[in-house]
Structure 1
Amino acid sequence: MSSSSSRMMWELDQEEEKLFKQSEGMFNHQVAKNEREEDEERRRRDDEKDAFGAMGLIPQQKITAALRILAYGTSVDQVDEITRMGKSTILESLMRFCGAIKSIYTAEYLRKPTNMDLERFLKKVEMRGFPRMIGNIDCMHWTWKNYPSVWQGAYGDTKGAKNIILEAVASFDTWIWHAFFGVPGAQNDINVLTQFPMFNDVLQGKAPKVTYEVNGRMYDGPYYLADDIYPRWSTIIKTVPCLRSAKEKHFASCQEGCRKDVERCFGILQASWAIVRDAARLFDVESLRSIMVTKMNHPDNHANANVNLVENVENDHGTLWKYVKKLERVENGR
């Protein structure tokens, strides 16, 4: 007998010794647990059978198809060759997956900052030279390929491309805590800002209570960094247009450097999710909004993290099973 075979037999003997050395109650508990898992698996497979007794699609197939479309930007026909699913089933699985992610993670990620979050923001931005600044505002255009022909005038920009606009507020750690998506691409940043619901809290007095001093004058309320196209509001700090003194050059350099946080966040979204980097293929604005919210709510919103997630899901049954269980709880309303 070879050394590897002897080693294997020794390990089996050790496992048997551990099994029969345990108490009778523990042994019966393990037996009952295994029987429950087998019964649950048997019932699940019976429920997935159709009228002819054939097995239906398992949840792992549907989630894999949705993740491949989001992370790789592949078409439905390409996913069909891998998951062996129909086009309508793939699209339905994609929308249900996005709805489940929105239900699970929106309250945790796409929300207003708490007092603890504000303390973390203010501590960091004060080190960067902008005390009491809580975010950066900017817009991102997502090209829309399969737009309705009757809407081409509203969604076309000056270059003739059809876009949908996302306006978001991002912090220094690329956390998007407020977003507004769905504005036609023919509008500019000022038109989008007038529809942006975030400043309603400022008008209603519900904005975070912070104070800061600039040039000996006290200001009440937070502010945001933006580029030159935005209006001159007290809550928006822009750069200096005409630089003359060394102080103005230094301020413009610091403001433009901190303002790149939101652009860096958009770059991470496009690098992590190929579906945003390419033109959108769906026909419905609500479906595109659901996809965009899914990407912003993902807990691993870092460069290349979501592509690795798909590889882990396809290779690791445990990672995929956690997604399946969460989706089932959302579907059952629990």
Structure 2
Amino acid sequence: MRRPLFKRILYAVTMFDPYYQSNRDCTGRQSLSSIQKCTAAMRTLAYGVAADAVDGYLHIAETTTIKCVKKFVKVIISVFGDEYLRRPTVEDLQRLLHVGHEQGFPGMLGSIDCMHWELKNCLVAWHGQYASGDHKSTLNDINMLDRSPIFHELLEVKAPKINFQVNGNNYNLGPKHALFAKKQEAARKDVERAFGILQARFAIISGPSRMWCKEIIRE
């Protein structure tokens, strides 16, 4: 990570959450600095190491590192969510439709795939709902997508209305044809490569999730 980007994140996190601001305890000792806490969270996310792995480098205990990671992801979503995690606008959707049309995929907003993330601490009650070891309880992509809230706004008629034209016919998020499906299968490698880059940048999702709460895992 480049220094300016790190400083931008560090400043935003420190200004948003007082937990990352360094102060003194009742004995007058200086607490952990904001750099130590942010670095602990970033290294855990980037390298996927256990929480106690950064102790020797940053002198932070395991429980403190876990707390830093949980708070860090919440702050990132709160501070940068509107800029980088926002819903697409009508202009964004029209641009995606144009790009898809230029690539031979008219009417295609994007490509969706499900990346399975193993749960190290998968509860018995969750078996059959989430993927477990050796794919014994893994649901297929269709069922996983059916459980996802990604299409809720579309079903609730809250999503932006987008029309597109194929072969002179106007559609409103029309059906997928056999030829379209065949071409899409050939282009799935692009989605798989995107997940590969994601896993390379954030190795924490390459190994089993060590968290227990579903909300924390999602963040």
TM-score by length of 1: 0.53
Matched, 1:91 2:66: yes
Matched, 1:199 2:151: yes
Secondary structure, in 3 states, of the residue corresponding to 2:84? Answer: coil
1:48 CA displacement: 1.3
d(CA) in 2 for partners of 1:76, 1:204: 41
d(CA) in 1 for partners of 2:64, 2:144: 35
CA contact (8 A) 1:207 1:221 kept: no
Matched residue, 2:120: 145
Matched residue, 2:140: 188
Query: Stretches of 4+ moved more than 4 A in 1?
Result: none
C-alpha distance 56-120 of structure 1, shift in aligned 2 (>3 A): same
1:222 CA displacement: 3.0
2:83 to 108, 133, 136: 108
1:252 CA displacement: 6.0
AA paired with 1:288? I
d(CA) in 2 for partners of 1:74, 1:125: 38
1:150 CA displacement: 4.9
1:115 CA displacement: 2.9
d(CA) in 2 for partners of 1:201, 1:152: 28
| Alignment deviations for residues 193-214 of structure 1 (CA, whole Å, 9 cap, x no partner) | 3333343443444443213234
Secondary structure, in 3 states, of the residue corresponding to 1:278? Answer: coil
Secondary structure, in 3 states, of the residue corresponding to 1:119? Answer: helix
| Alignment deviations for residues 37-77 of structure 1 (CA, whole Å, 9 cap, x no partner) | xxxxxxxxxx7111111111111100010000000111112
| Alignment deviations for residues 272-311 of structure 1 (CA, whole Å, 9 cap, x no partner) | 1111111112222222111xxxxxxxxxxxxxxxxxxxxx
1:132 CA displacement: 2.5
TM-score by length of 2: 0.77
When the two structures are aligned, how many residues end up with a matched partner? 198
Matched residue, 2:209: 280
Secondary structure, in 3 states, of the residue corresponding to 1:77? Answer: helix
C-alpha distance 148-81 of structure 1, shift in aligned 2 (>3 A): farther
Query: Cα RMSD (Å) of the superposition?
Result: 2.7
C-alpha distance 73-133 of structure 1, shift in aligned 2 (>3 A): same
Q: Compare CA radii of gyration and give the structure with the larger one.
A: 1
Where do 5+ consecutive residues of structure 2 fail to align? 1-21
